[in-house]
Structure 1
Amino acid sequence: MVPPAVSPVRKLASQTAVYGLSSIVGRFLNYLLVPLYTYTFPAGAYGVVSEFYAYAGFLAVVLAFGLETGYFRFRHRDEPTARAAYPAALGFLLAANLAFVLAMVAVREPLARWLRYPGHADYVVLFALILACDAIASLPFARLRAEQRAWRFAAIKCAEILVAITLNLAFLLGWPKAAALWPDSLLARVYDPTMGVGYIFWANLIASGVKLLLLAPQFRGIRFRDGLPLIRPLLAYSLPMVAIGLAGMVNEMLDRAILKYLLPYDPAENLRILGIYGACYKLSVLMTLFVQAFRYAGEPFFFAYAGRADAKPTYARVMHYFVIGGVLLFLAVTLYLDAFKYLIGPEYREGLEVVPILLLANLFLGIYVNLSIWYKLTDRTLLGAWVSIGAAALTVALNLWWIPILGYRGSAWAHLACYGGMAVVSYLLGRRYYPVPYPLGRIFAHLLCGLLLYRLDRELVGSCGWNPWTTGSALLALYLAGVSVTDFRPLWLGRRTLHQRAPG
């Protein structure tokens, strides 16, 4: 028998593990493309990829309209409302994204010139189609999460990523070699070497299309007219989430969208520096995946568990173990950064100093995700939006101030200042509107311990010449031992005592 207070946390952990499996395994496989890109393309060309995916981050939030969270909220109301939530959200998404694609096709030429990519209007159309596919797919994925069909969710995500990886390898390695070997073949005549990074975008589009096909069962039997009466209240709840999401994208993506405009060098050098920063940002991907996997499992969990008597102590316990996992990931990357650096080409490694800053920033983002339940469970999404908007304003100001002075290092510090500030403000507002007894002492102790161990590693390796592998392994083992004694041993002792008391 499992203690009632522990059981929901273990269930959330198992769901997070499944979502994390798909995200971490899939995205790690996808991350293996970073060496392909950074060893194949110069930093300037990779800067194009970083810039377009930064724009895509903003548009993805707008085109999803916050309807994932709205669907979760309305799904737990009365039966007619719950039944109408999915067709209302999905029907609106389909109509809105079709209109977006048509608009982008109409303005593709002037938009490409405005972005300083004349002659590449195809990039605009490709990204419009990618974004529309991904936005439409967000609702079927949300439904799978709400129905706790984590394994199907994971399988489709992994299939999409495997298709993208296969096509990237085919387009960037196989196809050019085949064209060179058989110059008179159809493959050689069709292959266009001037497209360059455009083949990355084609691979993404085809993979997104495959994802939609695999989600086709989630579109069957939907009566869109059943959702018409719910569209207005659903959007009233969900649209503030767009402001929150856009603000989040400002915090996450703005630097890569504006670096080339704010750096004080010539355009080619600015694009090269953007490529370096974009590649090094990818080295913080494990923390990003951890936060993403937690959000996939945590959002439906928080809504479903909200009405229970022990909800707040459970949320506090979730935060505690989340921070432990986040600090562990921070140490796993920073203590072995000498190994992770080989995932990017030599030209890009001059930016490695920003990786610890970005890891810590994303850990604070995860803490904010935990804290943000106060406005979601109390229907104060508009107030939550103001928190994110304020953080976005801070991000803009810090990037405008620090990029011309510190370059991409200023962007990394702006990330940390923004996410740290969001966590603090959200905690203070949560104490007023939905107070949760978070174990602040333990949380700060883990964060401080992680920073001290990282700093000790840098001193021992950099100043004293200790072996980085041995030093990193010893310090990581030290943290794991401490956590086992102080945080997990009482938990397992409690379970053992309960088993001993159980009859039979």
Structure 2
Amino acid sequence: MNIKQKVRNLIGKENLEFIGHSKNYLSATFFLKALGFISVPIYTRLLTPDEYGILAVFASAIAIVKVFMGLNMRGGIKRYYFEKTDDFDQALGSNLSFIFVFDIILFSVLYLLRNEIASFFAISGELFFYASLISMLYVPFNIYLSYLQGIKNSKKYSVITIIKQVLILITSIIIMINLDKNVYMGKIYAQLLFAGILFFYAYYEMIKISVFSLKKRYIKYTLAFGIPLIPHALSGFILSHFDRIIINQLTGSLNTGLYSFAYNVGMIMNVVVMASIKAWQPIFYEEFAENNLNKINRMAYNYSKYIYLAAIGLILFSEELVMILADESYYSALNLVPIIVLGYVSVFLYTLFFQYASYRKRTGLISLNTFIAGFVNIGLNYWLIPIFGYVAAAYTTFVSYILLFVLHYSNARFVLKEDVISLRKLIPNFILTIIIGIGYMNLNNIIQSYWVLLILKICIVLICVYYFLFKE
């Protein structure tokens, strides 16, 4: 038996599928994040600060409008695929027909109200028109991506998303260089161009697997799943972005910059978590449909060990990452990174239990939980930031994600009365990860020698690798 086969046997067949799909999603997401880092110095050299700010607001407008344009039909269609019926082609065709008509009507309304809505974002009516158009064009493409995720074609999903972002960046730069004024429009034109191309590409691909009609039962199924998740999407926006708005309101742009930088470092953990979630959902649906509860329990525990290990590695070597990504003026944000990373570990845990309500199509409960956590986060930030400063925001977000974990677990266990994944093994390792994170924050302040600390961190990582991956 060769070494490769021994490693495959050690990991196990159940874990290999998860790791394989996670690898594809993870590679794509890491590449896109790296592309984002590369684009920052490019855009800041081509744009004035005002123009850079306009693009940031423009991106926020797209993010909000697309929630309403899509009606989260992508989630409902993917959920119908997991029903394993023989009429998915009719369901897909009916929903594509409906969302096309709906988006044309909504886009027309937004166009008529573009100036009034644009004033809320403090951008021109023309820019809001472009934001609405791009949001509408991306709807079928996002549905197609969800379909690829559902059929476990993670490789194609990853390749398409990478090519899209690379071409948008290259095209944006070319157009910007050739503009004499309003240079920021270069990126907007590039986004519009590829949104249009991907609109037609998605329909071309989905026409092959669709039977187009307007059957009410298929549309009702998808809307019943998707619409209750709209508050969830908006509340998720609050959880992930509103803290920066509050910091800016209460303490100023300097602290907002430090906090945002710490989050950009901690976001590496989010990349790992999101890739894992994309791989886990179809696996969970298949096993849950077959009532393989023991297998789900075992697999969730095994997968969680990879998440904990990644979190510990990122926490312990966050100082090195900060040193690579920024100069000394950002080092004061270093101690926020472990808390931010732990927050994203909590996101992984709550999504394990989130899936039960998703499978049962009880999406209203999902939105309610996110809504509660989002507004608890706002209240804690307004209360604690004036007392403890901007660092409080990292802790309030961590607490909010822990609250989401508790809410989703309680929902699955006590409201839906499911035989849920056992916490007996999940929680002790989570507590161990928290202890290591807090311990590192204290060690970093106590041990002055960098090399002594580095050796200690390497030893801790090696021990954790043995504990999580090799110890039975």
Residue type matched to 1:241 in 2?
A: L
- Going from structure 1 to structure 2, the CA distance change for 1:407 and 1:455 (only over 3 Å counts) comes to closer
CA contact (8 A) 1:20 1:293 kept: yes
Instruction: Name the counterpart of 2:420.
Output: 436
Tell me if 1:148 matches 2:152.
Answer: yes
Counterpart CA distance in 2 for 1:138 and 1:132 is: 10
Counterpart CA distance in 1 for 2:339 and 2:355 is: 26
CA contact (8 A) 1:284 1:355 kept: yes
CA contact (8 A) 1:327 1:447 kept: no
Cα distance, 1:325 vs. partner?
2.2
Cα distance, 1:363 vs. partner?
1.7
SS at match of 1:465: coil
Instruction: Name the counterpart of 2:167.
Output: 163
1:131 to 116, 128, 135: 135
CA contact (8 A) 1:280 1:355 kept: yes
Counterpart CA distance in 2 for 1:411 and 1:142 is: 32
Counterpart CA distance in 2 for 1:123 and 1:345 is: 35
Cα distance, 1:157 vs. partner?
0.7
Per-residue Cα deviation, 1:346-396 (whole angstroms, up to 9, x for no partner): 766654443332222122112111121221233332223322222122123
Residue type matched to 2:143 in 1?
A: L
Residue type matched to 2:164 in 1?
A: E
Counterpart CA distance in 2 for 1:355 and 1:139 is: 34
Counterpart CA distance in 2 for 1:398 and 1:354 is: 17
Cα distance, 1:443 vs. partner?
3.1
CA contact (8 A) 1:333 1:340 kept: no
Residue type matched to 2:207 in 1?
A: R
Per-residue Cα deviation, 1:119-173 (whole angstroms, up to 9, x for no partner): x44432332233223333111111112222221111101101211332354456x
Instruction: Name the counterpart of 1:63.
Output: 69
The aligned length equals 462
Tell me if 1:30 matches 2:36.
Answer: yes
Cα distance, 1:202 vs. partner?
4.0
Tell me if 1:423 matches 2:411.
Answer: no
Residue type matched to 2:418 in 1?
A: Y
SS at match of 1:263: helix
Counterpart CA distance in 1 for 2:49 and 2:438 is: 30
Instruction: Name the counterpart of 1:281.
Output: 263
Counterpart CA distance in 1 for 2:93 and 2:63 is: 25
CA contact (8 A) 1:361 1:416 kept: yes
Counterpart CA distance in 2 for 1:133 and 1:473 is: 52
1:248 to 236, 244, 269: 236
Instruction: Name the counterpart of 2:468.
Output: 487
Instruction: Name the counterpart of 2:292.
Output: 310
Counterpart CA distance in 1 for 2:295 and 2:146 is: 26
Cα distance, 1:40 vs. partner?
7.0
Instruction: Name the counterpart of 1:234.
Output: 222
Instruction: Name the counterpart of 2:350.
Output: 368
Residue type matched to 2:22 in 1?
A: T
CA RMSD, Structure 1 to Structure 2 (Å) = 3.4
Instruction: Name the counterpart of 2:396.
Output: 414
The residue correspondences of 1:323-334 to structure 2 (distance < 5 A) are: 323-332=305-314
Counterpart CA distance in 2 for 1:284 and 1:293 is: 15
Residue type matched to 1:215 in 2?
A: A
2:447 to 454, 458, 464: 464
Counterpart CA distance in 2 for 1:326 and 1:235 is: 36
Unaligned 5+ segments in structure 2 are: none
CA contact (8 A) 2:92 2:211 kept: no
SS at match of 2:391: helix
- Going from structure 1 to structure 2, the CA distance change for 1:229 and 1:256 (only over 3 Å counts) comes to same
CA contact (8 A) 1:54 1:254 kept: no
SS at match of 1:70: helix
TM-score by length of 2: 0.84
- Going from structure 1 to structure 2, the CA distance change for 1:80 and 1:201 (only over 3 Å counts) comes to same
Instruction: Name the counterpart of 2:206.
Output: 219
The residue correspondences of 1:284-303 to structure 2 (distance < 5 A) are: 284-303=266-285
Instruction: Name the counterpart of 1:501.
Output: none
Cα distance, 1:304 vs. partner?
1.8
Residue type matched to 1:304 in 2?
A: E
Counterpart CA distance in 2 for 1:307 and 1:161 is: 36
Residue type matched to 1:481 in 2?
A: I
Counterpart CA distance in 1 for 2:55 and 2:389 is: 19
Residue type matched to 1:443 in 2?
A: L
Unaligned 5+ segments in structure 1 are: 176-186, 492-504
- Going from structure 1 to structure 2, the CA distance change for 1:378 and 1:152 (only over 3 Å counts) comes to same
CA contact (8 A) 1:112 1:124 kept: yes
- Going from structure 1 to structure 2, the CA distance change for 1:444 and 1:39 (only over 3 Å counts) comes to farther
TM-score by length of 1: 0.79
Cα distance, 1:416 vs. partner?
1.1
CA contact (8 A) 1:331 1:450 kept: no
- Going from structure 1 to structure 2, the CA distance change for 1:323 and 1:371 (only over 3 Å counts) comes to farther
Q: Which has the higher contact order (CA 8 A, sep 6+)?
A: 1
Give % identity. 16
